[in-house]
Amino acid sequence: MKSALKYLLILFAFISSFFAQNSGEVMYKFRSNGIEMTDRPALVLTFSENIARLNSQTNLNPNSEEIQYIDYDGEKTYQCALLKDGSRITTVESFTNYNVPVLTDDYETILGYKCRKATTVIRSNKIEIWFTNETGLKGTPQINIGPALGLVLKIVRNGNFEIYADSVILQTEDRGFYLTSPLCGEIVDLPTYRQKITEANYTTVRVFNNEIINFGDTITNPPDDLENVTYRYSKGTVILKKVRLPENMSAHMVFAELTERSNGDAYDRTGSCFIIPESKRVSFLDALRKDIYVLPKYTGKNEKIYQGVTTGKDYDVPIELLRFITPFGIGSYNSQVTVRGLNWEDSVTYKQDITDLLGTLEGEVWIGVFIGCYDRGGHKVSLSLKYHPDEIDQQNVPQKKFWVQPLVNTLNLMEASGQEYGTLFEKDTLSVTVNIPAGITNLKLRYISTGHGGWGGGDEFNKKMNEIFADNKLIYKFIPWRDDCGMYREYNPASGNFPNGISSSDYSRSGWCPGSTAIPVDIPLYNLGAGEHTFRIHIPLGAPEGSSFSSWNVSAVLIGEITK
């Protein structure tokens, strides 16, 4: 690698020289299905001294962003980038690492130059390459496609996408023609280069890194309200952190990525990643710091008391970003259980699009993760939020504003502190009343539901209809069910195996599988206007058997776009 770095420094040492006939500039534009792609900036290829330089028309400064070079004497390509943190990286590839195109007997005149056609296939894409040797220039608008052919004036992919030369300017006067290069920085391999370039195009907020969630530890938290400090609550089953998230990100997609590995717990446990609203007098943060009894109470017809399960005048329930179910003992039990033909995964990463909740994912927020375990080893988790721009160039993208109102959350995040399970559906519907302000459009309900009760008659293994009402009108009903659980067998080393050849983790369940996320359901409410509305949720809860009982973890959030 040191020799490659030395060669690159020598290659880019010159700043200017005088040339004639064999120097020039080509501008490339784009077409899709015959239509000009005016939203994509043109590419500019500059050729001189047997070196081609390629960069975007909006990035003509050789000391910024990404520039590519083709060295025809050394038969190598160089991709050089300036990253957001100010560091520079370069990757070097030989011509021999690229597909060798097949020449054909087809010819076409482009911009007055006779071009020959060559073809190749890249990742199942059929590529047509039209190149000429009449200009004295060399180069290609894609350095991995035909760099050794001559001057490529058109590339057609699958017959419908074109990169074509819009102009060719030859330098015929004896005047300075400048080629400069950024400092090459660190030489990296191509996969590393691609990773770093891609990561530079989006924003990552790393919330938790390899944190332990377990049960029964002695917990000593730092003082309240510190930023970027992990707090542990409810006997270690909840971790929480105050973070500052990027703002004005409405033209982005947001993904939550949560990685989990068993640190001793062998069972499938309910997990939840959530945000705590703080705009009202009481918040779930108060319960974590003090006691669950500070939460408003919901009395069911079964005479049980449920703490903080519905939004009210003085309280908003936690907003669930991601619900997941841990697999049976992933990582910790891999070496203890061997099954011929199965290679256990070391950890599981749950990745989910949470763009709908963007209205809560800006500025200062409290983010937590809960896993309902009773094991001192517990689990290790990491969490990142990734903001991916809809367009790389965000300068002229209008910003939208979103309204997010949580309704219910029956998932007992403080289970270890005595918060009641979601058994209220036994004799009741769950009811909540909220006010929808004026100026809200594209209103919808984001609804997550999973059934629990792990025996033959429990709701975990029995299909149950979920019915949702708005102002006493049925707006949606469905049965949450997953019958693809067998796909996650490699994540479940500690799953029990039965004589019939089925593993416990393979069985279908009420809206979840061990090692997967629970998938939210979007329910459009476009006809629901401003004002006070009452929502009700009905689920026919199964009857208990002995000490076994069923419960339903339900969370619901209203989401709309603010137009006024």
Which CATH number is 2-196 given?
A: 2.50.20
- pTM of the entire predicted model: 0.86
Terminal C-alpha separation, the chain: 58
Separation of alpha carbons 295 and 309, rounded Å: 9
Q: Is 210 helix (H, G, I), strand (E, B) or coil?
A: strand
**pLDDT, mean of residues 231-250:** 96
pLDDT tens-place string over residues 464-503: 999 999 999 999 999 999 999 999 999 999 998 878 889 9
Per-residue DSSP letter, 373: -
pLDDT tens-place string over residues 406-447: 999 999 999 999 999 999 998 889 999 999 999 999 999 999
Separation of alpha carbons 344 and 337, rounded Å: 9
The CATH classification of domain 202-222+230-370+399-562, taken from the options 2.60.120.230, 3.40.50.300, 2.40.30.260, 1.20.140.10: 2.60.120.230
For 242-267, letters b (16+ CB in 10 Å) and e give: bbebeeebbbbebbbbbbbbbbbbbb
pLDDT tens-place string over residues 501-552: 899 999 999 999 999 999 999 999 988 999 999 999 999 999 999 999 999 9
Comparing C-alpha atoms, which of 29, 76, 56, 45 is closest to residue 138?
A: 45
Could you tell me the CA-to-CA distances from 340 to 296, 337, 344, 489, 492 in Å, in that order? 52, 10, 11, 13, 14
User: Could you please report the per-residue DSSP string of 277-300?
Assistant: --SSSB-HHHHHHT-GGGSPEEE-
Q: What does the domain layout of the chain look like in residue ranges? A: 2-196, 202-222+230-370+399-562
Separation of alpha carbons 398 and 403, rounded Å: 17
Place of tokens 């015959």: 34
Separation of alpha carbons 493 and 333, rounded Å: 6
Under the banding of pLDDT at 50, 70 and 90, the label for residue 87 is: confident
Q: Could you give the dihedral angle defined by the CA atoms of residues 270, 273, 277 and 283, in that order, rounded to the nearest 10 degrees?
A: 40
**pLDDT, mean of residues 20-26:** 76
φ, ψ for residue 135, nearest 5 deg: -100, -20
Which residues partner with 408 through β-bridges?
Answer: 310, 556
Under the banding of pLDDT at 50, 70 and 90, the label for residue 373 is: very high
In the predicted model, is pLDDT for residue 173 greater than 60?
Answer: no
Task: Give the type of residue at 409.
Answer: N
